Amino acid sequence: MKKTFVATMILGVILFTACNSGTSNRNQSKNEQAEMNQMTTGDSQNEMEHMQQGAQNENHAMLGVKGSCEMCKERIEKAAKSVEGVSFASWDMEKQELHMNFDPAKTNIEAISKVIAAAGHDTDKDKAEQATYDALPSCCKYRE
């Protein structure tokens, strides 16, 4: 009887702790919520919200970029965001398409495309050098 009571109490404490350990989004600002949603879901609705929140002087563009996995997604987005003037970049693996916001006074699609190609991914405008492509992990190989 004593063991059953102790086991029930332990189970109750664990459930109580698990139910109350999550953070509430009520106290987060709208920008934090949008960023959190973007990081966790990556769906097109959140991307559209982020694009609408961009600065007035930014352009939105899409660029075809080849890749094959989540590592490619991280590499492509990181490369695009490394270009000064790019404020947002999200690569859609299924569509092989990069959505981005950038300040046209600081950069352009051609410059962004060249940086992505230098990271090892072919774009609609530039092809990655063979040596750079060959250095990608095997799961990232997209050429036939």
Domain assignment present for residue 2? The answer is no
Total number of domains in the chain: 1
Question: Is 105 within a domain?
Answer: yes
| Overall pTM surpassing 0.85 (yes/no) | no
- Residue 138, domain member (yes or no): yes
Band the pLDDT of 59: cuts 50, 70, 90. very high
* Predicted confidence (pLDDT) at residue 99 exceeds the cutoff of 80: yes
pLDDT (tens digit, 9 = 90+) per residue, 118-137? Answer: 999 999 999 999 999 999 99
Residue 24 within a domain: no
Does residue 84 have a pLDDT over 80? yes
25 in a structural domain: no
* Model pLDDT, residue 57: 84
Measured CA angle at 43 (ends 46, 116), to 5 deg: 95
Question: What pLDDT, on a 0 to 100 scale, did the predictor assign at position 72?
Answer: 97
Residue 143 within a domain: yes
Q: Which domain holds residue 132?
A: 42-144
Angstrom distance (rounded) from CA 138 to CA 80:
22
Torsion-angle region of residue 114: left (phi > 0), alpha (psi -120 to 50) or beta? alpha
Task: Classify residue 144 by its DSSP letter.
Answer: -
- Residue-averaged pLDDT of the chain: 79
CA distance 110 to 63: 10
Domain annotation covers residue 17: no
Q: Which region among 8-12, 96-100, 140-144 has the lowest average model confidence (pLDDT)?
A: 8-12
Read off the CATH number of the domain in which 61 is found. 3.30.70.100
Name which of 117, 52, 65, 121 is nearest 91 in CA terms: 65
In a domain, 36, yes or no: no
